[in-house]
Structure 1
Amino acid sequence: MAPLLPLRERATATDNALSSAPVEEFEKIRPYRDDEVAEVLRRVVADPAAAQGVARFLAPGCFRHAPRITCWALARALAWRTRNLRSVDDLHGEIGHWFGRLIRRTTTGLTWSGIETLETGEPHLFVSNHRDIALDSAYMNYALWSSGYRTSQIAVGENLFTHAFATDLMRLNRGFMVPRTGGSPRTQYAGMRTTSRYIRAVLDAGESVWIAQRDGRAKDGIDRTEPALLKMFLLAWRGECDAIGDWLRRVRLVPVSISYELDPCAGAKARELYLTARDGGYEKPDGEDHACMVQGILGFKGAVHVAFGTRVEGDFESAEELAAHLDRVIVGNLRMYSTHVFALEGRANLGPRVGEAFHGTLDDCPPEHRDYVLLQYANQLRNQRELVDGVVT
């Protein structure tokens, strides 16, 4: 999901590019246009979930002791602050500083590297590991914006479009819907083809796109690119690009690695991993994704780093070969912290605040879940050593 932050400029050619396609093809999945912002904002502000979310962030103490009056006051404040917003840029400009405040409150610092290798003014197709539902793309876009680059549109799984309020927020923040795999083969293919055509339309219009390397977060800490994702990309270029190398010469494919010292959702992920191992599967309860989204946004994450890799070029023989290359780059560029070392080797200097949060997660978990908390962190370091260095641990 795109972060709530100001954009220095926003491509207007996208609407023109999308208008050349059949209206019904992209209408249900595209982000909101500028002419829709005012009406959608009125709807969002009127939703009780908006005031509750702002209250938890801006006035958590007041919200705990007097939730109704706190939400009432903040709802009125939101309505006043958004009354003159008429475009996506207006929205991002109004509340962008809150994202910086969120970073300062919930991390010990956000850093990035490799951004200077991007081609200024050109669209990129960013493919990254997926650790957090909302913040992976948000941190990347914040790094882009802070460095003077245009931010990207964000691919969001349709499982997050189940509630009207969340749907409005994501589409306001340049998120477009990606159908989850399921249904008949014909339905799956139609969904992949539409997504591929939409991504191409956005890139052709001069805007960048971010998408995760796999369907769903890597809850076990092992990051792998799904070859099916790469095959999906190629659908919109079928008949024009005879080989993967031809496609790469037309698309600026950039791997991105997003590293977290702490994962606020580690306990929830551990529960899912444990139940999956015990029962052979896991049925996600309604609302779990949205609860994890809020927990990830508001929880303490320690240090966070975004690493931009260099543009991928070369004549790869297959999607599997390209996926393996992306894995080596993405995993190789991950930044390992003391939490990963501690989880794998049993000792490391975590520091007071990080150590308190890390051990607090372990203490709050049922005993049978704790190994799965450690597994998430340990696997990131183990995976890097094995995949990049060839060291089995």
Structure 2
Amino acid sequence: MREEFDEIRPYEAGEMKQAFDDLLNDRQFQMILKGFTPWLPKSMRNALLRLAFTGIKTPLDFQKRFMKPVVNYIIRKHTDGCSFQDSSIAAYDKSQRYTFVSNHRDIVLDSAFLDVKLVEAGYPTTVEIGIGDNLLIYPWIKRLVRMNKAFTVRRGLSLRETLAASQLMSRYIHYAVTQKKENIWIAQREGRAKDSSDHTQDAVLKMLAMGGDLKELNIVPLTISYEFDPCDYLKAQEFQQKRDNPAFKKSRQDDLDNMKTGIFGYKGRVVYRPAAPINTWIDDLSELPKTEWFKALAERMDREIHRGYELYPCNYIALDELNGNQANAAHYTDADVKRFNQYLAGQMAKINLPNKDEAFLRERMLTMYANPVRNLMAAQ
């Protein structure tokens, strides 16, 4: 492992045991564990975890032993199923490694669901993921995500520091794909699209290109579609907070609340749909001037991601309500409308603001569900 990556890379095989010991010795982590098993004394909890850790040498071992059962539990408990809906992923050369660039629906689960589905599809490894250091607010969180194949994306830097950090991260991603033989997952933009209108940032693609030829990364545009977004009411709440106070900024606790809600909230059906790797068409852009190339690449990736949306009745209902018509009524029933209205009412009731603007908040949530339909129609 090249030393220049030590500050941002996941743990390596020889570091896993020490990381696990440090995790068990962390007081805050022990409080989390106690919340799950309050009937077990600390010594018994630790003994059971150490026994379960026996034989784990790599982050992939850790994922398969600990994280896969947890993620499968979340799928069973908090979704109505999670699946790949396109056979193209099965046709990929499994001896190659890929960089999945996707729209961003959940801070934790976007990559976690992908990991499970790759293992089920017969891939020899999962994905390394980029996670912002703004979320690594406690030492135990940083240790746990590094054990889980996460590399650190540094946030809140000066312009000069951001450039250096982007170059380092890009070199690491190229190194991970070509030398470590790892897959990568990264979001198409910094942060989630609060209105669910997903668009690839040129800056992400430029960052990926800093470390070498984009072709060697085998980039795959990936579409993630949730039937229901458990964080929709939190996003709508943030829209009003920023409307009423342009200087409003989320706290660290807000970030943790979003993570918790995203993991344990109801998501309905979840679909992952990968497009063909961009290497199959990227040469079509070769004649473009350099100044236009990244913009054109981002737009083409957007079309691929938008074409991959799995649309649900709620998406069409939201668009028709916003438009004041029933142009898409063939895609839903009266029962679907009743269910969606009940869902929205339940989510709206969770919003706790002193000057709650019901009409504005409902419009924001409807827009989140309508935008995938708009984007798919435009892409087609």
Residues 236-385 of structure 1: matches in 2 within 5 Å?
A: 236-237=211-212, 247-248=214-215, 250-312=216-278, 313-315=281-283, 316=285, 317=288, 318-346=293-321, 348=332, 349-350=335-336, 357-365=343-351, 367-368=356-357, 369-385=361-377
* Aligned partners of 2:225 and 2:270 also within 8 Å: yes
Structure 1 match to 2:54 = 84
Structure 1 match to 2:104 = 130
* Aligned partners of 2:60 and 2:126 also within 8 Å: no
* Aligned partners of 2:234 and 2:351 also within 8 Å: no
Pair 1:139 & 2:113 matched: yes
Q: Judging changes above 3 Å, is the alpha-carbon distance between structure 1 residues 353 and 37 closer, same or farther for their aligned structure 2 residues? A: farther
Shift of 1:376: 1.4
Structure 2 match to 1:42 = 21
Residues 225-244 of structure 1: matches in 2 within 5 Å?
A: 225-237=200-212
Distance in 2, matches of 1:42 and 1:359, equals 46
* Aligned partners of 2:82 and 2:269 also within 8 Å: yes
Distance in 1, matches of 2:14 and 2:54, equals 13
Structure 1 match to 2:324 = none
Code of the residue aligned with 2:62 in structure 1: it is: L
Distance in 1, matches of 2:74 and 2:171, equals 35
* Aligned partners of 2:317 and 2:337 also within 8 Å: no
Code of the residue aligned with 1:111 in structure 2: it is: S
Secondary structure of the residue aligned to 1:287 is helix
Match of 2:80 among 108, 111, 117: 108
Shift of 1:117: 3.5
Question: Which runs of no fewer than 5 residues in structure 1 stay unpaired?
Answer: 1-17, 60-67, 242-246
Moved more, 74-83 or 360-369: 74-83
Q: Judging changes above 3 Å, is the alpha-carbon distance between structure 1 residues 332 and 181 closer, same or farther for their aligned structure 2 residues? A: farther
Structure 1 match to 2:133 = 158
* Aligned partners of 1:124 and 1:208 also within 8 Å: yes
Residue deviations 1:292-328 (CA, integer Å, cap 9, x gap)? 1121111111100000110113232310000000001
* Aligned partners of 1:222 and 1:380 also within 8 Å: yes
* Aligned partners of 1:55 and 1:74 also within 8 Å: no
TM-score normalised by the chain length of structure 1: 0.81
Calculate percent identity across the aligned residue pairs: 30
Code of the residue aligned with 1:362 in structure 2: it is: M
Match of 1:94 among 24, 45, 65: 65
* Aligned partners of 2:197 and 2:375 also within 8 Å: yes
* Aligned partners of 1:220 and 1:379 also within 8 Å: yes
Code of the residue aligned with 2:259 in structure 1: it is: M
Match of 2:161 among 179, 187, 196: 187
Structure 1 match to 2:326 = none
Distance in 1, matches of 2:43 and 2:343, equals 32
Residue deviations 1:11-49 (CA, integer Å, cap 9, x gap)? xxxxxxx33xxx1x2111000112221222222234455
Structure 2 match to 1:203 = 177
Distance in 2, matches of 1:224 and 1:139, equals 21
Aligned CA RMSD, in angstroms, stands at 2.5
* Aligned partners of 2:129 and 2:149 also within 8 Å: yes
Distance in 1, matches of 2:77 and 2:156, equals 36
Shift of 1:201: 0.5
Secondary structure of the residue aligned to 1:340 is helix
Distance in 1, matches of 2:296 and 2:104, equals 20
Distance in 2, matches of 1:342 and 1:51, equals 45
* Aligned partners of 2:23 and 2:143 also within 8 Å: yes
Q: Judging changes above 3 Å, is the alpha-carbon distance between structure 1 residues 376 and 151 closer, same or farther for their aligned structure 2 residues? A: same
Shift of 1:125: 1.3
Moved more, 356-365 or 332-341: 356-365
Question: Which runs of no fewer than 5 residues in structure 2 stay unpaired?
Answer: 322-328
Q: Judging changes above 3 Å, is the alpha-carbon distance between structure 1 residues 91 and 363 closer, same or farther for their aligned structure 2 residues? A: same
TM-score normalised by the chain length of structure 2: 0.84
Moved more, 196-205 or 83-92: 83-92
Code of the residue aligned with 1:103 in structure 2: it is: I
